[in-house]
Amino acid sequence: MAFGKKDKNENEPDTNNVDPSLRTHAEEQLARTKTNAPDFAGHTPEELIHELQVHQIELETQAEELRQAYRALEESRDKYLDLYEFAPLGYLTLSDKGIICEVNLTGAALLGFVRKDLIRARFSTFVTESDGDTWYRYFKKVQDLEGKQVCALSLMRGDGSVFPARLECIRIPGTRDGPPTVRVAVNDITDLRRAGDALRISNKKLNLLSGITRHDINNQLFTINAYLEIIRKNISDPSVQKDFARITAASDRMAKIILFTKEYEQVGAKDPAWQNCHFLVDRAARQADPGNVLVKNDLPAGLEIFADPLVAKVFYNLIDNAARHGGKITTIRFFFQEAGELCIIVCEDDGDGVAADEKELIFER
């Protein structure tokens, strides 16, 4: 009989590299869940070893699949982390008290601080004093309402400089793991403000030029009409009088075109707003003065549209054109009808209408 160190069987599990704490944890777990030992009767040692080896391979395969899934999750996390950190907008997470809990690199750069110095700081400290009340009301609105809320205000950087910002916030309900939070997206709209200011200045200059031009043309038209009237009174030939009438009508059309340019330059000059359609129709009917034509306003009193204030001119023109060119017209009616998700405002009348062969010419100059 030979004595000495026993050679290790290649089929025996290698326990040298196993963390002792893992084995202790496994033994404790086995003790807590221990059931009756399985019956190995009728199985040879070779069969049992074979089953253990198959089970070992199954466990190793599952472990490799878990490692691959973990690596894929890490890669996905890193990709979306980069998108979050280097997004063109500043992203912050605030507590329900307005304390900064998280901020991406863009947000830290916008506010002019190192990220670690922003954590646990109150967001309100970066709001300018003049917009403090606006921020307070807005933050309360975000917490009280569902969905995204938008606000524009001025923020102050760490160096004291101020920039206009657009904020989009949404409240995230609390869970068992934590209280509710508020997600904030901050966009520096300095360039947008500058472009808007430049556009307004440009429009102001163009409107000034067009106003002076209209004034000069109207003066010349007034002079032309005055001389035409003097000449007309000195000529008694009926055939010539008809020509004067045509000239005067052409002059009146020119005056109307010039007036239209004054109205058109106001398009977009004011921000769109919610407007009551029922009120707009009533006012247009009074201003247009359609004579004996009845204007029936069947629009609901609460029906509103979000549009340029000049939409009032649309209702006026509909009534005025129908009354002027409707022939034997007696009634103009406004009502609305639903078409799926759309609400359509309808204007109809019982007048003669436009001849079929002239309808294609309505929108031609």
Report the candidate in 139, 216, 132, 222 with the shortest Cα–Cα distance to residue 182.
Answer: 139
The conformation of residue 183, written as its DSSP 8-state character, comes to E
Instruction: For residues 148 and 168, give the distance between their C-alpha atoms in angstroms, rounded to a whole number.
Output: 6
Residue 35 is predicted with a pLDDT of 61
Residue 344 makes CB contacts below 8 A (sequence gap 6+) with 336, 337, 338
Q: What string of DSSP letters covers 246-284?
A: HHHHHHHHHHHHHHHHHHHTTTTTS--EEEEHHHHHHHH
Instruction: For residues 164 and 348, give the distance between their C-alpha atoms in angstroms, rounded to a whole number.
Output: 47
Q: Where are the domains of the chain?
A: 45-85, 87-188, 195-264, 273-361
Question: 118 falls in which pLDDT band (50, 70, 90)?
Answer: very high
Domain 273-361 in the same topology as domain 87-188: no
Which structure tokens are listed for 185?
A: 């997206």
pTM of the model: 0.52
Instruction: For residues 300 and 267, give the distance between their C-alpha atoms in angstroms, rounded to a whole number.
Output: 27
For 135, counting Cβ atoms within 10 Å of its Cβ (0-12 exposed, 13-18 middle, 19+ buried), the class is: buried
Residue 162 is predicted with a pLDDT of 95
Report the candidate in 324, 314, 319, 328 with the shortest Cα–Cα distance to residue 348.
Answer: 319
Does residue 4 or residue 362 have the better pLDDT? 362
Decide if pLDDT at 40 tops 70: no
pLDDT digits (tens, 9 = 90+) for 262-304: 777 777 667 788 999 999 999 999 888 888 899 999 999 889 9
The conformation of residue 178, written as its DSSP 8-state character, comes to B
Question: 5 falls in which pLDDT band (50, 70, 90)?
Answer: very low
Stretch (H or E) spanning 118? helix 115-118
CATH of domain 273-361: 3.30.565.10
Q: Which CATH fold would you assign to the domain 87-188?
A: Beta-Lactamase (3.30.450)
Question: 248 falls in which pLDDT band (50, 70, 90)?
Answer: confident
Decide if pLDDT at 17 tops 70: no
pLDDT digits (tens, 9 = 90+) for 123-169: 999 999 999 999 999 999 999 998 899 999 999 999 999 999 999 99
Q: Do 162 and 156 touch, CB atoms closer than 8 A? A: yes
Using CA of residue 69, residue 75, residue 80, residue 81, what is the dihedral sign?
positive
Residue 232 is predicted with a pLDDT of 82
Does residue 198 or residue 268 have the better pLDDT? 198
- Name which of 24-28, 109-113, 340-344 the model is least confident about: 24-28
Which structure tokens are listed for 197?
A: 């200011």
